[in-house]
Structure 1
Amino acid sequence: MTIELLAPAAAEAPTRFVERHGRRIAYRETGSGTPLILCLRFRGVLDSWDPAFLDALAAEFRVITFDYSGLGQSGGAASYRAEVMARDAIDLADALGIESFAVGGWSLGGMAAQVVTAMVPERVTHLVLIGTTPPGRVEHPSEAAFLEHALKPVNDLADEEILFFEPASASSRAAAAASNARIAARSADRSPPIAPETYLALLQDRHAEDLFPDAGGYRDFLANCGIPILVIAGDHEIVFPTPNWFALNRVWKSLHLMVLPQMGHGPQHQAPEFVADLIKSFVRTRQRADVAA
């Protein structure tokens, strides 16, 4: 008789480590199926993901989350440059022996995921972007409320309501409290938060006129690569305003844009099962296409 071992739920998944190019990368995984590597937001560590979202994805994917180099429980030199964060994701896939995978990213991690796709397009089956920005110059800037709350040494629930949810909506505020409680429920083996002096230095290091500099020609590549791209955004996105994607609707030829009502920068935490279902359906049904330039 064969006994099938079930992957642990996200809240209980142990932190594991791989060594790659002289540094240690901390990661967790749950579920089975198509590998889905998820890249983190600004100030994010392994314990910044809502476990309900990861568990909903794990019904169909081998979900892999990780700490960027030099942050959380990972070693090495820290950087918020998209190319460096992308290399972490690729090196992790290499260390785990994963040749083909879907890649996703939330916020700053969405920039990393786009660079991963441009760096190893033959390995990426699908690109999933949540609350992030396209490369290059954009028309709509972040709202002032973002930096007012994002740079505080500690973010409480009231900050999270503004940063990741829609504070004008009672149901969104309730979802913020529920998500906060789920994330806080893990009591052991947590990744340490990023110190203010660290994230402020990393922001200064990547300071540029554009939020996501397009030095690598990422925008043109993604417009024509044929890899299915799903963008999920709230209708009140204070960090990377959703209208910046509208101009790309018929330019990025494999772009799918989902705008969710009464939501902010973290729709996957407000509606974890719904957003996970969107991603599962997208990966299951949308395939890479040959696209004429």
Structure 2
Amino acid sequence: MATYISETIEAEYIDGAQARYGYRQFGPRRGVPLLLLHRYRGTLDDWDPKLLDLLSADRHVIAFDNVGIGYSTGEAPDNVAAMADGVADFLGSTGLEEVDVLGWSMGGFVAQMVALNYPTLVRRLVVAGSGPGEPSIRPPENPRSLEIRPKVAPTLEETLFLFYPDDDEGRRVGREATGRFYHHQSGEVKTTKESSWRNQAIAIDAWNAGENSAWNRLETLTQPTFVANGSDDIMEDSVQSFEMVRKLPNSITTLFSRSGHAFLFQYPELFANLTLQFLEEDSLFA
């Protein structure tokens, strides 16, 4: 029996120019939809159902798998700009002309590039646990993180290390959060094929090296932007959030204490409340 409404929502499919896209829609079909862009290797099944329910309680939310990921066909590209092209292709196939975008981790890279390359598609932007692609402001990644990320099948303990604080409380909260996953009533769980996630890894490394990233264009990203991160993120250090807000003309940032890369699953109620307030407050940046 499903615990969360989002666990009862079946995948839908739509044909675009680049792929047959798998996606799920949550909440009432009104207003500007919130489009969710996922992390490295993440699929439709890797969103926290509790967070999905909170975000979609009173608004339309769409999660989709980009080209070559999870429920979608094709081969993932090896650069972020092409991933943004996939987002635009998906939106074009659905007929949606404007969305709010929430990108987490690598999805935050893609979200920035969608806002820059397809500005009319994006009303507001949420960048979570991510960075702008500038090596001079990005502290070296944790060596163990670099060792774990390319593994074909990381263990639960390795996954907890990547996403949550490396202490007893962090591991407890991480186990609680991950325990909410993979209980969809369909019983289906799809992963990203190795060739695609290896292409994603190439794209991430290039972005973090400053190759065709958003950093030098942030001043032109004028959509209202909410930048959020966990204080103990070992993959995308939170210092980047502050440097982004220094350059983004219409932005705010929030840092979640005692939390890691998956802070949005660690504090789903707080993150959802802040995100919805940001998206729905018309007076912001008026």
Q: Is this a same-fold pair by TM over 0.5?
A: yes
Mapped partners of 1:287, 1:119: distance in 2: 26
Provide the residue aligned with 1:215 in structure 2: 212
Mapped partners of 1:288, 1:118: distance in 2: 20
Gaps of 5+ in 1: 1-7
Mapped partners of 1:31, 1:66: distance in 2: 15
Match of 1:231 among 227, 230, 249: 227
Mapped partners of 1:88, 1:106: distance in 2: 16
SS at 2:167's partner residue? coil
Shift of 1:106: 0.8
Provide the residue aligned with 1:249 in structure 2: 245
Matched length:
280
Say yes or no: does 1:128 pair with 2:126: yes
The answer to whether the 8 Å contact 1:169/1:262 transfers is: no
Mapped partners of 1:150, 1:20: distance in 2: 30
Mapped partners of 1:286, 1:105: distance in 2: 21
Provide the residue aligned with 1:66 in structure 2: 64
Structure 1 vs Structure 2: percent identity of aligned residues? 26
Match of 1:21 among 17, 42, 65: 17
Provide the residue aligned with 1:57 in structure 2: 55
Shift of 1:62: 1.1
Mapped partners of 1:80, 1:281: distance in 2: 34
Distance 1:289 1:35, change over 3 A: same
Mapped partners of 1:288, 1:189: distance in 2: 42
Mapped partners of 2:100, 2:265: distance in 1: 20
The answer to whether the 8 Å contact 2:18/2:86 transfers is: no
Distance 1:204 1:121, change over 3 A: closer
The answer to whether the 8 Å contact 1:111/1:212 transfers is: no
Superposed CA RMSD: 2.3
TM-score normalised over the length of structure 1: 0.87
Mapped partners of 1:225, 1:195: distance in 2: 33
Gaps of 5+ in 2: none
Distance 1:197 1:169, change over 3 A: same
SS at 2:23's partner residue? strand
> More displaced, 219-228 or 117-126?
219-228
Provide the residue aligned with 1:280 in structure 2: 276
Shift of 1:251: 2.6
Provide the residue aligned with 2:256 in structure 1: 260
TM-score normalised over the length of structure 2: 0.89
Shift of 1:95: 1.7
Mapped partners of 1:222, 1:287: distance in 2: 22
Provide the residue aligned with 1:89 in structure 2: 87
Distance 1:232 1:197, change over 3 A: same
Shift of 1:201: 4.6
Higher helix share: 2
> More displaced, 52-61 or 246-255?
246-255
Say yes or no: does 1:179 pair with 2:183: no
SS at 2:212's partner residue? coil
Provide the residue aligned with 1:37 in structure 2: 35
Distance 1:49 1:252, change over 3 A: same
